[in-house]
Amino acid sequence: MEWLIGLQALLQATVRMAAPLTFTAVGETYGERAGVINIGLEGLMLIGAVTAYAVAFASGNVWLGVFAAGLAAATFGVLFGVVTITLGANQIVAGAALNLIGLGLSSFIYRAFFGSVTNRAIQPLETVKIPLLNQIPVVGPVLFEQNLLVYAALLLAPLAALVLNRTMLGLALRSVGEHPKATATAGLSVIGLRYAAVAFGGMMAGIGGAYLSVAYANQFVENMVAGRGFIALAIVVFGRWSPLGALWASLLFGFTFALQLRLQAQSIPIAYQFLQILPYVATIVAMILLRGQSAQPKALGVPYTERT
Amino acid sequence: MTEQTPRLRLAGISKHFGAVQANNDIALEVAPGEIHCLLGENGAGKSTLMNILYGLVRPDAGAIFLDGKPATIRSPHQAIELGIGMVHQHFMLVPTLTVAENVILATRPLLSLRRLGESVIRDRRAIERQVGEVAQRYGLKIDPAARVSALSVGEQQRVEIVKALYRGVKLLILDEPTAVLTPQETSDLFKTLRDFTAAGLSIILITHKLHEVMAISDRVTVLRDGKVVGRRVTRQTDTHELAELMVGRDVRLTVEKRAAQPGAPALVVEALTVLGAHGRRLLDQLSLQVAAGEVLGVAGVDGNGQRELALAITGILRPDSGSITVEGKALTGAMPRQIADASVRHIPEDRQQMGLILDFSAADNFVLKQFSRLPFTRRGLLQPATILAHAQRLIRAFDVRTPSPALPVANLSGGNQQKVVLGREIDSNPRVLVAAQPTRGLDVGATEYVHKALIAQRDAGAAILLISTELEEVLALSDRIVVLYEGRIVGEVPGDRANTQKIGLMMAGVQAALQPVERWGTNTNEA
């Protein structure tokens, strides 16, 4: 029975590690379906992480922190929109700049306000057990003994899929990333739709980052996102630009995070640095396996101008 | 017609882009149930005017009245609300979506909590049924569940029309709708449009094809250089008058040419076969000969092997079997460069994809086939001065309208782009010229120019293989005509006795039209 308990702990950690990736990747899926690629997810997550931590620390309310993180990152998402959608700048370059801003700004805020604070921990987000369902063997503890943000991430993906595939808004978003001019001539605002998509993408990345500081580590650490923003970009491709695909891919990558932690704890004779590489190696392998498969939106990364 | 309130009235519409006056004080009236043609050459201002009407471009001055009421149209959204629909020349359809999804796009609130029922697509089948019903009511055959990327061009156009109808269109604008259609599809489209007007719909048809104006319209307004230069009731005019109005000078619709003086066979193609995917025979044992000093016209509906024929002869496509001989020299399977060196030149069917590098200047495009040789390259270095002088000479010789030889050809009009291709390909007086769709998308003036240039080459002794899906063009230029159907030559007629109807039947693959004709080739298969 011991192996079963081990498996259960591994899977529980998998879901925990997948949640921030899911938020970020689902948000980015929307942005990319609308035709805007934002490689600045890492920076947005850091902004979310530091905002959530600072607000939660100051107010004592974790949820206020999460809310503020979403708002702050959405604001940066809109700024990214001004540069790329309105001004038509190169999306890759603007995204790279966003990463640098996120890294610098989050570290600066943290040092400026918390450099001299001694007790920096905040109240952790508590685990909410869902009665009855958590009694199911293995699955119960894995899926139904988690914090509320994990539940939110698990519900976000199907909800986002529903909106994308079964609403007029989703139809408009899918159109605008494939053929923006057709969308415009049908009577929709390409600019408006893209702003909405990048703002949503920013908000989700912010919440993904908030998860790391308030639900996972209970504190902020400089550069604590540690490449998860880039992994989320790979997840969008791996999930073939669908929200549910992003959820499955997040769980897969969450598993590699959980596995390397588990292996470290087992004190097996491999240097921990090698184990830590695991999620990143998995990313590269995944991208190689997916080469040549293209479900990519046609107009991805192409600025739209109303020239006729 | 005068007592009726016009469906659309435009008064004093003007619009300039920089120094160019695209529309200058334009007035236009369209009655309910009328088909009104807007005729003009490329750049005459037709598209600008229609984009103003559809809310894509804001006019500098002027007023729009719909059913007598003044209307301000600032966006396509407003145009749609006012009952204006537009079928663009390049279809505005999302290929990854289904027909039904394309049709319902933006017809209901995107995400409204109060009207959630409308924002949510609960049942795709129901929507497909709905779209199918609209299509059926107007006699348009489409499958609402099909993905647009899987549809033919003709079908996609029907989707565009259904899209407009679904939005309750009262005035339908079609921009060059026949440019991409086969003759059969064109006549189907015209029949459909007639049915629409019977139901009270008004139609504006943008075109530069004169026979279409005569075939379909009630009235016609002619634009030149942004101004209205004539209004005619179609019944009271003819193609000659319209052509003159459109171009601004006397135009000959027929090409003047002397009788051909054919010499020895210059291009001999024997039993040429090109296989496509799944072993499909794109060219099937095709044989033909073109003599020096004659034009052999290849007629046929698009997609019957025209592309493969041109590409195989010019070496871009390697034939699976058969032989190609130019002036006695075997060139089967040779590299394009070797074939070009044997004085075989090529006007490709898509000048923007194959004929030119759009981002390159006219000067660079002129030397694409010889830049690595003297005098354009010396000691491994390009000689810009020589290249420029060469360009200036060709720009003069071929009357290319460009402010500078250094300007990327992407900025030139279609006609001037084609003149750059012509200049490069025929300046050296080729022995064999393969001209594929040489006037596709060109206006009357440019077409006339290209035709004259081809005949001049013929008279200079070149063997010209003219591959064109425009039957008019084949009839006007050819000394002999062969008809291509499913990769085979199914008939031949001399140019001077050409019988349009018979050729038309052969193009459609009707076997009864194929009387035994005198042929050179050895079409081994049963005909």
How confident is the model over B224-245, as pLDDT tens digits? Answer: 888 999 999 999 998 888 888 8
Of B82-86, B383-387, B400-404, B439-443, minimum mean pLDDT range: B439-443
- Residue whose token pair is 């759009």: B358
Q: What is the pLDDT of residue B497?
A: 61
The whole domain housing A189 covers 2-115+131-289
What is the CB neighbour count within 10 angstroms for residue B349? 21
Residues of B with CB under 8 A from a CB of A: 47, 51, 54, 56-57, 75-77, 79-81, 86, 88, 91-97, 101-102, 104-111, 118-122, 163
Interface test with A, best of B57, B73, B92, B101 (most A CBs within 10 A): B92
Asked if A178 and B101 come within 8 Å (Cβ–Cβ), the reply is: no
Asked if residue A308 has pLDDT above 70, the reply is no
The pLDDT-based confidence of B527 (bands split at 50, 70, 90) is very low
- Adjacent-strand bridge partners of B221: B38, B231
Asked if B119 and A306 come within 8 Å (Cβ–Cβ), the reply is: no
Q: What is the pLDDT of residue B1?
A: 46
Residue with more model confidence, B515 or B124? B124
Section B369-383 average pLDDT:
88
Contacts of B46 in chain A (CB under 8 A): none
A245-289 per-position pLDDT tens digit: 999 999 999 999 999 888 888 878 888 888 888 888 888 888 888
- Residue whose token pair is 């129901």: B126
C-alpha B147/C-alpha B100 separation (Å) is 9
Contacts of B57 in chain A (CB under 8 A): 308
Section B263-279 average pLDDT:
89
What is the CB neighbour count within 10 angstroms for residue B390? 21
B162-178 per-position pLDDT tens digit: 999 999 999 999 998 88
- Inside any domain, residue A211: yes
- What Rg value do the Cα atoms of chain A yield, rounded? 20
Residues 154-193 of A with CB under 8 A from B: 163, 166-169, 171-172, 174-175, 178-179, 181-188
Asked if residue B26 has pLDDT above 90, the reply is yes
Nearest CA to B57 out of B23, B6, B91 is that of: B23
Q: What is the pLDDT of residue B510?
A: 66
A232 and chain B: CB distance < 8 Å anywhere?
no
What's the structural domain count of chain A? 1
- Inside any domain, residue A203: yes
State residue A236 phi and psi, 5-degree precision: -60, -45
CA distance B55 to chain A (A): 9
Question: Are B240 and B250 in contact, with CB atoms under 8 Å apart?
Answer: no
Of B123-132, B432-441, B468-477, minimum mean pLDDT range: B468-477
Q: What is the pLDDT of residue B517?
A: 45
Helix (H) or strand (E) holding B70: strand B69-71
State residue B513 phi and psi, 5-degree precision: -75, -15
Q: What is the pLDDT of residue B123?
A: 84
- State the average pLDDT for chain B: 87
Asked if A168 and B104 come within 8 Å (Cβ–Cβ), the reply is: yes
Hey, which bits of B239-396 come out as E strands? Answer: 265-275, 281-291, 295-299, 321-326, 329-330, 344-347, 377-378, 381-382
Q: Which residue of B has its CA nearest to A170?
A: B110
Asked if B110 and A175 come within 8 Å (Cβ–Cβ), the reply is: no
Contacts of A172 in chain B (CB under 8 A): 105-106, 110
Contacts of A163 in chain B (CB under 8 A): 111
Q: What is the pLDDT of residue B526?
A: 38
The percentage of chain A sitting over the pLDDT mark of 70, rounded to a whole number, equals 98
- Inside any domain, residue A260: yes
The number of angstroms, rounded, from the C-alpha of B20 to the middle of its chain's C-alpha atoms is 25
Section A140-149 average pLDDT:
91
C-alpha B99/C-alpha B120 separation (Å) is 18
The pLDDT-based confidence of A306 (bands split at 50, 70, 90) is low
Asked if residue A120 has pLDDT above 90, the reply is no
Q: What is the pLDDT of residue A292?
A: 64
- Inside any domain, residue A40: yes
- Give me the interface pTM, i.e. the ipTM: 0.87
Measured between CB atoms, which of B76, B94, B122 is closest to A175? B94
A307 and chain B: CB distance < 8 Å anywhere?
no
Of A73-77, B31-35, B110-114, B211-215, minimum mean pLDDT range: B110-114
Asked if residue B448 has pLDDT above 90, the reply is no
Q: What is the pLDDT of residue B100?
A: 95
Contacts of B106 in chain A (CB under 8 A): 168, 172, 183, 186-188
Asked if A186 and B51 come within 8 Å (Cβ–Cβ), the reply is: no
Nearest CA to B58 out of B120, B125, B13 is that of: B13
Section B157-161 average pLDDT:
92
Q: What is the pLDDT of residue B522?
A: 40
Asked if B120 and A167 come within 8 Å (Cβ–Cβ), the reply is: yes
Whole-number Cα distances in Å, A7 to A3, A143, A270: 6, 13, 21
- Inside any domain, residue A24: yes
State residue B295 phi and psi, 5-degree precision: -110, 120
A306 and chain B: CB distance < 8 Å anywhere?
yes
B378-410 per-position pLDDT tens digit: 998 999 999 999 999 999 888 888 888 888 988
Q: What is the pLDDT of residue B525?
A: 42
CATH number at residue A264: 1.10.3470
The number of angstroms, rounded, from the C-alpha of B486 to the middle of its chain's C-alpha atoms is 21
Q: What is the pLDDT of residue B252?
A: 61
Asked if B121 and A171 come within 8 Å (Cβ–Cβ), the reply is: yes
Of A238-252, B41-55, B451-465, minimum mean pLDDT range: B41-55
Asked if B105 and A172 come within 8 Å (Cβ–Cβ), the reply is: yes
B274-286 per-position pLDDT tens digit: 998 777 889 999 9
What is the CB neighbour count within 10 angstroms for residue B402? 21
Section B506-521 average pLDDT:
55
CA distance A308 to chain B (A): 7
Measured between CB atoms, which of A175, A298, A308 is closest to B105? A175
- Cβ-based neighbours of B378, under 8 Å, separated by 6 or more: none
- Inside any domain, residue A306: no
Q: What is the pLDDT of residue A196?
A: 97
The number of CA neighbours under 13 Å toward the Cβ of B435 is 35
Q: Which residue of B has its CA nearest to A163?
A: B120
Asked if residue B516 has pLDDT above 50, the reply is no
- Inside any domain, residue A125: no
Question: Are A22 and A250 in contact, with CB atoms under 8 Å apart?
Answer: yes
- Burial bucket for residue B373 (CB in 10 Å: 0-12, 13-18, 19+): exposed
CA distance B493 to chain A (A): 45
Question: What global pTM score does this model have?
Answer: 0.77
C-alpha B309/C-alpha B300 separation (Å) is 12
Asked if B92 and A181 come within 8 Å (Cβ–Cβ), the reply is: yes
The pLDDT-based confidence of B19 (bands split at 50, 70, 90) is confident
- Cβ-based neighbours of B94, under 8 Å, separated by 6 or more: A174, A175, A178, A179, A182, A183, B101, B102, B105, B148
Q: What is the pLDDT of residue B119?
A: 84
Section B129-148 average pLDDT:
91
Interface test with A, best of B96, B102, B147, B172 (most A CBs within 10 A): B96
B329-359 per-position pLDDT tens digit: 999 888 998 998 899 999 998 888 889 999 9
Domains and CATH numbers, chain B: 1-83+169-248 (3.40.50.300), 359-428 (no CATH)
Q: What is the pLDDT of residue B498?
A: 61
The percentage of chain B sitting over the pLDDT mark of 70, rounded to a whole number, equals 94
